[in-house]
Amino acid sequence: MQNAQEFTYGVIGAGSFGTAVANILAENGKVLLFTRRPEACREMLTQRTNRGQQLHPNITPTIDIPDFCNQCRLIFPVVPSAGFREVMQQFSGCLQPHHILIHGTKGLNLHLLPNEEMHPGQPVSRQQISTMTEIILQETVVLRVGCLSGPNLAKEIAQGQPAATVIASRFTEVIEQGREALKSPRFKVYGSNDVTGVEFAGVLKNVMAIASGILSGLGLGENAKAMLISRGLGEMVKIGRALGADSSAFFGIAGIGDLIATCSSSLSRNFSVGFRLAKGELLPDILANMNEVVEGINTVKLAKGVSLYYHIETPIVEALYQTLYNNQTIAESLEYLMNYSFDKDADFL
């Protein structure tokens, strides 16, 4: 394997996590950090900061897609799921089979016809859903693809605090090159060949993070949070299994590890939304002043649709869906959960 210093790594997306990833990569080589906004690029070039993070000297911001793809062989797309397909389409003409893409986006894409919207309570099958890995394969000629997932709160990574992640790919080469690129004394990288499991685990935990934020906002204790995390993990496993995921990924770093982190920290955007909902703020107002996308909001709707299609018992998803989309009060949702008749513990095993 070539020395990492010979590579120029690429990061697509200059959000908080994309910037944190770029700073880690910059410890091992040069980095091009792509943003679609010329004003953001100019600001990074002059101020050498982004999203409250100081940019490593090895990072060069850019808006030039052809030059970016020409210089970078190993690329990390970290953009919101709602715009992920569009971004891949923009890059598709410049990406080649020799490129390796490892995305860090924890979201799903629903297949809809032009001008079609998902209706409340609409069942959703696996055939209607694309993961970000699948979008890369659908929209580009790139074959060696992976995903990056784990308890990776961007602010803590930016502060240099210890963290771990998982790179999942069908290709050992992708895992090895990703691990080499991200090697750091403070950032542990594990590997997995279960791309589907790792990807769905990272996506579904956002639903439980919103619910956990609500519990904290209500001032409820650790007993309630522990109950939510354990029962929420079960719902994640059942939904993931219906979508074709292996259950084992949900019990690793990308599953329960990420679940604990995002259900316990105000640094999580999904947790923060739940917390603010519990304090009486309205969802449109919360989202209007969030600096970055909250992936869990859309995932709640998709998880509800999947549960309907596959007849899965997911009371936490149901309660959260009714709160977010059907004006059910938080008090009513909590009463629903406490009165729900669970037959046995760990019913997902």
Higher pLDDT, 166 or 121: 166
State the average pLDDT over residues 320-326: 95
What are 38-52's pLDDT values in tens digits?
999 999 999 999 999
The pLDDT value recorded for residue 114 is: 63
Q: Is the dihedral of CA 152, 155, 157, 161 positive or negative?
A: negative
State how far the Cα of 320 lies from the Cα of 207, in Å rounded to an integer: 8
Measured CA to CA, the distance from residue 156 to residue 174 in angstroms comes to: 26
Instruction: State pLDDT tens for residues 47-66.
Output: 999 999 999 999 999 999 99
Backbone angles phi, psi at 249, to 5 degrees: -60, -30
Question: For the residues 9-33, what does the mean pLDDT come to?
Answer: 97
Span 318-324, average pLDDT:
96
Residues 70/63, Cβ–Cβ less than 8 Å: no
Please give the torsion angle defined by the CA atoms of residues 3, 79, 212 and 119, in that order, rounded to the nearest 10 degrees. -150
- Partners of 131 in the β-ladder: 108
| Nearest residue to 60 (alpha-carbon basis) of 31, 25, 35 | 31
Give yes or no for residue 176 having a pLDDT over 90. Answer: yes
Average pLDDT over residues 8-22: 97
- Portion of the chain with pLDDT greater than 70, in percent: 95
User: What does CATH list as the number for 1-349?
Assistant: 3.40.50.720
Question: Which position among 30, 155, 188, 205 bears the catalytic label?
Answer: 205
pLDDT number for residue 1 = 41
Q: pTM for the whole thing?
A: 0.93
State the pLDDT at residue 2: 44
As a whole number, mean pLDDT of residues 175-199 equals 96
Q: Using 50, 70 and 90 to split pLDDT, how confident is the model at 3?
A: very low
Q: How far apart are CA 231 and CA 238, in angstroms?
A: 11
Task: Give the per-residue pLDDT at 347.
Answer: 72
Share of the chain above pLDDT 90, in %: 91
Looking at the chain, the number of H-run helices and the number of E-run strands are 15, 12
pLDDT tens-digit profile of 96-118?
Answer: 999 999 999 999 999 876 666 77
Contact by Cβ (8 Å): 212, 229: yes
Give the pLDDT score at 5. 47
Query: In this predicted structure, which of 111-115, 214-218, 249-253, 324-328 has the lowest mean pLDDT?
Result: 111-115
Q: What is the pLDDT of residues 73-82, one digit of tens each?
A: 999 999 999 9
Mean pLDDT score of the chain, rounded to an integer?
94
The stretch 294-308 carries a mean pLDDT of 95
In 3D, which of 103, 43, 108, 34 has the Cα closest to residue 71?
A: 34
Work out the widest C-alpha separation in the chain, in whole angstroms: 60
Whether 4 shows a pLDDT value over 90: the answer reads no
For range 21-38, the mean pLDDT: 97
Q: Is 30 a catalytic residue?
A: no
